Amino acid sequence: MIMSPPGAIVRNLTFQSNDLGRETTILLAFDTEVEGLYDTVYPVVWKVFTFPKKGSRKFVVTYTNDLAFAEADITDENHVNTHATFQLKPGQQTTLTLEDDSDSDDLSFSPPVDGAHINGYLTAENKTGLVQDLAFGFFTPSMMQQMLMHTRPAPVLFFKEVENGRNATAQWKPVLRVYLESDYRETEVLVNAINSAAIWEQDLHLLFRNTIFNLERDTKTGRCTLTKTQCMTSEVKKGEKGHSSSESRFSRLSRLFV
């Protein structure tokens, strides 16, 4: 079983609504600018939630910095499936190879080593002799995952056709964007940028451990806003960042309009 390691950064995000007046779907993705975006690297839809026209609804998601690379493939519907996985930390590098057994086509990742890249980058080098599709993501400590014999990371970046001898490098900074979009599904690869503007974005490391957001709709304009309504500061672990002074720099983002 995969569990978040001691000291891992955990961010629990609650999204809630009450009598929106129109069924509304939000999409969560880490699609901020990275090198090769929409060319060799593609964002993957993390979560999609639909809120009802009437009544209340609440969805809770968890992000951790328990990061991993994974062997991946794409379904006919453009969704990412992950297979062999390997956990590593920012600044580390792993190498992907084929198993020594000639009768096996299983892939394996080497133990991590400190990479030569700028601190914070995570790298997987392809030495399989073949082109490989890879995904990058993170593990979440959900109850369902704890019941499984093995777990897979939630994919958030997809690296298309990494050539033999080349690297897949994640310039990882967990800036989450929230969109009003109903045309996508979870784990779907975003082959192009989403046309609409994000209604909220934030580096999750600057939040407290538990944060609640309220989704509201202006009945006169039809515009939706996402407002941070509560931060559970008492549960911030020692060593985690999440100070109000850091958050204030981003407070202007809490009420972006579509």
pLDDT digits (tens, 9 = 90+) for 65-82: 999 999 999 998 899 999
Q: In the prediction, which pLDDT does 150 show?
A: 56
The mean per-residue pLDDT over the stretch 8-14 comes to: 94
> What is the structure's pLDDT at 103?
46
The total number of structural domains in the chain stands at: 1
pLDDT band at 223 (very low <50, low <70, confident <90, very high): very high
> Which of 11-20, 24-33, 86-95, 225-234 comes out lowest in average pLDDT?
225-234
Q: Name which of 19-23, 140-144, 206-210, 217-221 the model is least confident about.
A: 140-144
- Give the number of other CB atoms < 10 A from CB of residue 175: 16
Does residue 5 belong to any structural domain of this protein?
Answer: no
User: DSSP state, 41?
Assistant: E
Q: How confident is the model at residue 171 (pLDDT cuts 50, 70, 90)?
A: confident
1 in a domain, yes or no? no
Q: Quick check: is 40 in a domain? A: yes
Which of 31-40, 132-141, 156-165, 223-232 is the most confident on average?
Answer: 156-165
The full DSSP string for 64-91 is: ES-EEEEEEEE-TTSBEEEEEEEE--TT
Query: Is the CA virtual torsion 228, 234, 237, 240 positive or negative?
Result: positive
Q: Is the pLDDT of residue 48 over 50?
A: yes
DSSP class of residue 111 equals P
Task: Kindly state the percentage of the chain with pLDDT values over 70.
Answer: 79
Two tokens, residue 63:
């992000």
Does residue 242 have a pLDDT over 60? no
In a domain, 94, yes or no: yes
Containing domain of residue 136, as a range?
10-255
Confirm whether 4 is domain-assigned.
no
Give the pLDDT score at 5.
Answer: 62
Q: Is residue 117 part of a domain?
A: yes
5-10 long-range contacts, Cβ below 8 Å, gap at least 24? Answer: 5/66, 7/237, 7/239, 8/64, 8/65, 8/66, 9/64, 9/65, 9/205, 9/240, 10/62, 10/63, 10/64, 10/141, 10/209, 10/237
Report pLDDT for 236: 44
Q: Is residue 2 part of a domain?
A: no
Largest CA distance in the chain: 67
Query: Cα–Cα distance between 17 and 150 in angstroms, integer?
Result: 34
Is residue 25 situated within a structural domain?
yes
| pLDDT for position 62 | 96
Task: State residue 62 phi and psi, 5-degree precision.
Answer: -130, 130
Query: What does the pLDDT look like over 99-158, one tens digit per residue?
Result: 765 444 688 999 999 875 566 789 999 999 999 999 999 998 764 455 454 578 999 999
Average pLDDT in the chain? 84
Whole-number Å distance between alpha carbons of 58 and 99: 45
